[in-house]
Structures are given as structure tokens and as C-alpha cells.
């Protein structure tokens, strides 16, 4: 959970967990070597004066050569702290990059809405509306 840098790679190799090939084992070894070399890396939380939500969203259209599904990702910051992120392959094939972008935006907005309700329940008031960058 504290290593978003490997979340996409781990998700990708887990898709072939039931019948891995040598290529998949090499990818797993590469992930483990990366973890060994970056053991001191991770997320740090620091106090910040503002509690504004900021969401970055990105998607690559039809990037998977096996099924032409797009991969989308978002990360949400509360002030300067990363509090939520996701990277996943979309379940449908989009006919355009715009449709892929809208699907990824919908996921990011859903997460932002949930976080807004959570912050409101915790009596943390936001000074401005969340910012969504795609």
C-alpha cells in the first residue's frame, strides 16, 4: 500500500498468475530487484496548512496488445500528501481515446466524492472545491 510505484507492474503480472511463463517470472524478478534497491523509499505524510483535494488522472488508450483495453490511473492528494491511488485496466474496449478518458475521469470523481464525504464526516472543512487534472 505504501509503494504505488510498483502497483501497475504487480497488477500486470498477477493477471497471468494461473499460467505464468518465463517472461512473467523475469518481470517478477525485476520487481523484486527494484524493491531490494529501493527499500528506503515509501510514502511520507507531513502536516500541511490546507486540506484541499487534488486528483491527477491519466489513461493510455488501447495500450494492451492482447485485448486492446485501456489502462487508467489516478492519484489523490490531500494537501501535499498522497492519500489514495489506483491503476487498473478498463473492462471494455473504448472506440476512442475520449471514451477512455471519460471512464478514467468517472473513477477519479467517484474517489474524490467519497473522500469529500469522509472528510465532512471527520469535520474537516475544505476551503475550495477539489481540483481534477487529466
Task: For 46-96, write each residue's pLDDT tens digit.
Answer: 888 888 899 998 888 666 667 677 778 889 999 888 888 887 777 667 666
Give the separation between CA 90 and CA 11, rounded to whole angstroms. Answer: 13
Ranges of each domain in the chain: 4-37, 53-133
Domain 53-133 sits in CATH 3.10.20 = yes
The pLDDT value recorded for residue 112 is 93
Task: Using DSSP bridges, classify how beta strands 131-133 and 53-60 pair: parallel, antiparallel or unpaired.
Answer: parallel
Strands ordered across the beta sheet of 53-60: 81-89, 71-78, 53-60, 131-133
Identify which of 84, 63, 96, 66 has the alpha carbon closest to the alpha carbon of residue 130: 84
- pTM exceeding 0.75: no
Amino acid at each position: 500500500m505504501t509503494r504505488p510505484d510498483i502497483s501497475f507492474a504487480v497488477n500486470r503480472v498477477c493477471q497471468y498468475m494461473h499460467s505464468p511463463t518465463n517472461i512473467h517470472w523475469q518481470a517478477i524478478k525485476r520487481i523484486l530487484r527494484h524493491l531490494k534497491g529501493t527499500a528506503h523509499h515509501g510514502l511520507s505524510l507531513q502536516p500541511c496548512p490546507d486540506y484541499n483535494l487534488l486528483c491527477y488522472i491519466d489513461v493510455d488508450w488501447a495500450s494492451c496488445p492482447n485485448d486492446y483495453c485501456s489502462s487508467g490511473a489516478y492519484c489523490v492528494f490531500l494537501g501535499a500528501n498522497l492519500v489514495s491511488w489506483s491503476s487498473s485496466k478498463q473492462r471494455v474496449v473504448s472506440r476512442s481515446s475520449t471514451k477512455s478518458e471519460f471512464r478514467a475521469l468517472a473513477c477519479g470523481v467517484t474517489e474524490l466524492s467519497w473522500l469529500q464525504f469522509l472528510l465532512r464526516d471527520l469535520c474537516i472543512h475544505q476551503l475550495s472545491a477539489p481540483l481534477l487534472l487529466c
